[in-house]
Structures are given as C-alpha cells and as structure tokens.
Structure 1
Amino acid sequence: MTIAEQYPHLQQFFQYLQFEKRYSQHTLVAYQNDLEQFCIYLISFYDAPPMEAVKPAMVRSWLATMKAEEAVANKTLNRKISTLKSFFKFLMKNGVLQQTPMATIISPKVSKRLPVFVEENDFKNNFSKLHFTDDHAGKTERLVLLLFYNTGMRLSELINLKESGIDWSYSHIKVLGKGNKERIIPVSKELLQELQTYIETKPASGEAEAYVFVNAKGKRLVAKSVYNFINKQLTYITTISQKSPHILRHTFATHLMNNGADLNAVKELLGHSSLAATQVYTHNTIEKLKEVYKQAHPKA
C-alpha cells in the first residue's frame, strides 16, 4: 500500500494548498516532502496509525530522531513543525480531527543571523565595470540584476512578472508575492525606460499574457538560470561568500534602512506580513553606527 493510499487526506491537503492557497511549486514540494517523511516514520515505527490516532509523543519522537540521527538544523525542524501544524489544522477544519496533536509541540529556538548584503560602495563602483554580452542574454542579465537591486523582489516574483504588471503612467510594478498577495513597488523613470526598450526588442513568446523576462527562444526564464547568472555577476561586484538573487533583496532593504527609510515603508516594499520580519534590517543599521562610532570617536 502506498503512502497516498494509507493516508488519503494528504492528497486533499496538497490540492487545497495548490488550488485554494495557490502556493508556489517550490513550497508545495517542501510540504509534500515533509509530510511524506512524517508518514513513513509513522508507518515504520507505529504501524501506520490513522491521523486521528497521532499523539504529540509521536511527533516529538520524529523530531528527536531527525535531530539526533540526521543532525537536522533547528530552522529545518521549525519548517517541518509548521507543515504539520498546517496539515492538522486542515484536518480539523474538515472535521477529520477534534483536536490537533501539535498544540503542545514547541518549536526550537533559532539563532538569528544578520542578513548578508552587498556594500553600497561595492555595488555603485563595480556595477559599471561588469561585462554583459551585447545579445539578448546579456541584456536580460543586466536588467534582471538592476531590477532585483532596485525593487527587492523575490526570484519567483521576478520570473513571473508580466508585462501587464507594469504601470507606465504611475511608474510602478505590481508583483504577486507569497500567499498570492499583490503589492506595488515604485520604480524610477530611467529603469522603466530600460524595461520598455527590453520588451520592445525581446523575442516573441506567443503567450496570451507575456512575461517580461524571456530567454532567446521567447520562453519564460527559469529560476535556476537566473540564480546562476546572478551568482556569476555578483562575483565581480562583491567578495561576500553568499551570492544569490535573495542577497540582492537583502541589499535593497539594507541600503534603504541605512539611508533613513521608514521601517514600515520597507516592510510594505518587501511584502512582509509582519514588522518582525523587517526589523532584522535595523540590526545592520545599528552595526553600521557602531562602526562609525569606533572610527570617529576619540574615546571609542
């Protein structure tokens, strides 16, 4: 008997996430992997109990096993706990369970690390020195890099950006973020002009609603290719070890904060659901102030 046959509610949950919550494919895969891993554990160690019979002790045992035998990090454990909480909440909502076994499960503490970002001077001084080929690929790489830095959008938001999401009159871009939430990001007239030129000269896609960024065949960019060329170009801009599209999102937020932007405004620009997620960028500002103090104050 397969996992899906043993636990039919799994497929119902995945369909709920896909069609009602409209989660991204990346998030769906993560949920599926976590739940299948948990179900395999239930089958192996508890003789496949129905979900109604799952106890908090079973969940704790699974988490402890991963921590001890697989050295799974607390951050990963927290994600798996979040997955189970969502799943059991779904079962309660649909009348399968009367109560969730997750009520007494406590997430382990995760040490907060400051976001890694590209220094402002490094970006300003080194971007002009980058070499982009004079073909469609080179123009795409250059504009994608600029858009990441100027808007702070996520990788998934950029590759799914459509021409209809650009408001030329009001100089802003509409993106679809996490949880299918729309947000508006202002862009400069100069960047809009570059986007317009790119759209006018890019290969035809034949799509009903055209994506802004396409490859030489007119197909929407894929996440892996964007990650690869951003990683390559950042090598020439900065010496930090992490080089990814998300680093440019951190860079966007940190540069705004360092130049006096309002925290709530940065929260809205990033599309964070809570202010707590944005507050981490204030720490970088504080660290910068400490550095200035040490360098400038005679008694530091």
Structure 2
Amino acid sequence: MQTLTPELQKLLTQLSQHLQSEPEKNPPLLEIWDLWVQTLDLTVETAADHYHVTRRQIVKAGNPLVGDTDWFLGNSLAPQTYNARLRYLKNMAAWAVAEGLLSANPWLKIKSRKKTKEIIKPFSHSETARIISGFEEHYPAWVPFAKFLFLSGCRMSEAIGLLWKHIDFERGEICICESLSRRPGKNYERVRKSTKTGSVRFLKINSELAKLLDQVSSATKKSEELVFKNPTGTNSIDCHNFRKRWTKVLSVANIPYRRPHIIRHSFASHAIEQGVPLTGVAYLLGHSDTRMVAQTYGHLINRPSLPNIL
C-alpha cells in the first residue's frame, strides 16, 4: 500500500465528509476507483494496462454508482478477464468500506465465471504448408515472418523484436531474450522489454531457419537492426496488419479460423509428438517449468490407443 499524499488524504476527507449525511453511501464508481488506484504502488505499465482498461469499461458504462453491478454482469468478457476485473472491483470496494466511503461491499455477492478449458487444435503439417503457400501467393512480403513463427515457436512480440545481434551464426543459435511489446494503452506503439516470463533461451538454427535467415539477410545489416521489418513501410512489424492477412489466407485455404497464437501451440504439440521431453518443450517455449506445458499438452503425452475389441 502506498503512503497517502496530503492531496489524496484531503480528497478522502472531503469525500468522507460529503457522505456522512447519507445513510446509504453509494457514490459514483469512478470517484472511488480513481482514489483507490492512487493508493496502490503500481508500475506505470501495470496502471496503464489492466487498471486503465477497467477504468475505460466503467466510463463506457456511464460511470454507474458503486452499488450498481448490472453493467458489469451484462458484459461478454472471457472468464479469465471477467474474474480478474471482478477481483479489482472487490478489492476497491473493500478498501472503500475500510475508509468509510461505502456502507457495504456490493461486489462480494458477485460470483466468478467458471473457466472452460480451451480445446486446442494445432495446425497439421498439411494445413501449415497451405498457410505458407497462401502467404506466398497473396502476401509474399509476409512469408519470412510467418515461416519464422512456425519454425521457432516464438511469441509474436519476440519475433517482432528480434535483432540481428541476437543471432550468432558461428554458434548456430538464436537468443530469444527480448520482445517488442505493445505499449499499454497504445495500439500501435511498442516498447522493448524482456520476454513475457523474463526467460532467456537459445534456439538452434536448423536447416530451414538457416535458409530463412539467409533470405531476409542483407550485406548492410546492423546489429541493432530488426530482422523482420514491416512490409508497409514502418520500422517494426504491425501485428494488426499481419492478423488481417492471416485471416484472409486461412479463408482462401479453406482452413477453420484459429488465431495466430495457435502457431505456438502447434509448435509445442508437434515437438511432443516427435518425442521432445516436457522439459525441452518448456525451454523452447520460454516457460520456467513444465507445469503449464503439462496442463496444456498433457493429453498428448503417452496417449493410449483403443483396445482391440472386435
């Protein structure tokens, strides 16, 4: 908990005094939300991401009263997002009750949404070949980037942020240690940071990756230069433009739509089917341990065949 500044303490006092005359304290939600967020010791990135998005949702709902929960119950958020924002609102209201700004916490009665396990359908070898062919036919400038995602299993932000200095041709390996992630609250601005889990991993350059890197290489490449540049003219890859082309390619290839992140799932699934141990798959994906890999891909491990009955 962050120490309250004199200005914030004054605001709290004024609001508390204003509510003293009300038997049922039920102020506008934004007043309580903004005060609560200011008391938290948040990084700029966290405040601009999760908390800012929730605030925008409150504004879009017309700044309802704290006790009005219908606006939140009626949304179509995915269970994981819904539960995370509900947790924020419960914590906010608990703080407000402790500060005398609310009579009771109206959010305690709201139940979390049950998560449904996603059935991941990886791309088959045939589908992968058709996707690459689709890019070659319709969007040839995007082929290297699409191929790299399939060959490396990297997160999109990691592939976008890959620099030539991260590639050691003598040792035959690629260092995945940074990402170029979207700046919180900004759709098209990116900021260089560590990988999602803070991991550093080295990917061996196989023959396919070597051929790909040779195709995008240039005699004047610099160590701080991006490996994959945006064909539309800007410096870094625009993931929005890639997704638009991705959707078109899948449609033309008559492949049921799956978001680009399924490329990463496909990479892991094929690795497991080809005998790579869980520890190896976790390393290739950049996870600190095998827990998530086991939870997500456990159904692929030692999967038995049906017994012969007839």
Name the TM tier (shorter chain). 0.5 to 0.7
Where does residue 72 of structure 2 map in the other structure? 66
Asked if the contact 1:4–1:10 (Cα under 8 Å) also holds between the matched residues in 2, the reply is no
Cα RMSD for the two superposed structures = 4.4
Is 1:230 the counterpart of 2:246 in the alignment? yes
| Identity value in percent | 19
- DSSP 3-state at the match of 1:146: helix
Q: Find the aligned partners of 2:274 and 2:247 in 1 and give their Cα distance.
A: 26
TM (norm. structure 2) is 0.63
Where does residue 176 of structure 2 map in the other structure? 174
Asked if the contact 2:136–2:143 (Cα under 8 Å) also holds between the matched residues in 1, the reply is yes
Is 1:154 the counterpart of 2:169 in the alignment? no
Where does residue 114 of structure 2 map in the other structure? 109
Where does residue 308 of structure 2 map in the other structure? 298
Residue type of the alignment partner of 2:148: L
Where does residue 265 of structure 1 map in the other structure? 280
Q: Find the aligned partners of 1:234 and 1:78 in 2 and give their Cα distance.
A: 32
In our comparison, the structure showing a higher alpha carbon Rg is 2
Residue type of the alignment partner of 1:132: E
Where does residue 52 of structure 1 map in the other structure? none
Residue type of the alignment partner of 1:116: K
Q: Where in structure 2 are the equivalents of 1:45-194 lying within 5 Å?
A: 45-46=65-66, 62=69, 66-67=72-73, 69-81=74-86, 107-124=112-129, 126=130, 129-130=133-134, 132=136, 138=140, 140-170=141-171, 171-176=173-178, 177-194=195-212
Further displaced range: 156-165 or 102-111: 102-111
How far off its partner does 1:200 sit?
0.7
Q: Find the aligned partners of 1:273 and 1:104 in 2 and give their Cα distance.
A: 36
Where does residue 184 of structure 2 map in the other structure? none
Call closer, same or farther: CA 1:174–1:31 in 2, change over 3 Å: same
Which of the two has greater helix per residue? Answer: 1
How far off its partner does 1:81 sit?
4.2
- DSSP 3-state at the match of 2:309: coil
Q: Find the aligned partners of 1:82 and 1:184 in 2 and give their Cα distance.
A: 37
**Deviation string, structure 1 residues 240-283 (Cα, Å, up to 9, x no partner):** 332x3201111101111122221122122212355332224434
Call closer, same or farther: CA 1:226–1:172 in 2, change over 3 Å: same
Asked if the contact 2:226–2:236 (Cα under 8 Å) also holds between the matched residues in 1, the reply is yes
Q: Find the aligned partners of 1:158 and 1:30 in 2 and give their Cα distance.
A: 24
Q: Find the aligned partners of 1:276 and 1:264 in 2 and give their Cα distance.
A: 10
Asked if the contact 1:166–1:174 (Cα under 8 Å) also holds between the matched residues in 2, the reply is no
Asked if the contact 2:127–2:255 (Cα under 8 Å) also holds between the matched residues in 1, the reply is no
Asked if the contact 1:162–1:211 (Cα under 8 Å) also holds between the matched residues in 2, the reply is yes
**Deviation string, structure 1 residues 27-58 (Cα, Å, up to 9, x no partner):** 94444111444588896324xxxxxxxxxxx6
- DSSP 3-state at the match of 1:200: coil
**Deviation string, structure 1 residues 121-154 (Cα, Å, up to 9, x no partner):** 4335x367446269xx61x422112111111111
Asked if the contact 2:30–2:58 (Cα under 8 Å) also holds between the matched residues in 1, the reply is no
Where does residue 255 of structure 2 map in the other structure? 239
Q: Find the aligned partners of 2:152 and 2:65 in 1 and give their Cα distance.
A: 48
Call closer, same or farther: CA 1:30–1:235 in 2, change over 3 Å: farther
How far off its partner does 1:71 sit?
4.6
- DSSP 3-state at the match of 1:213: coil
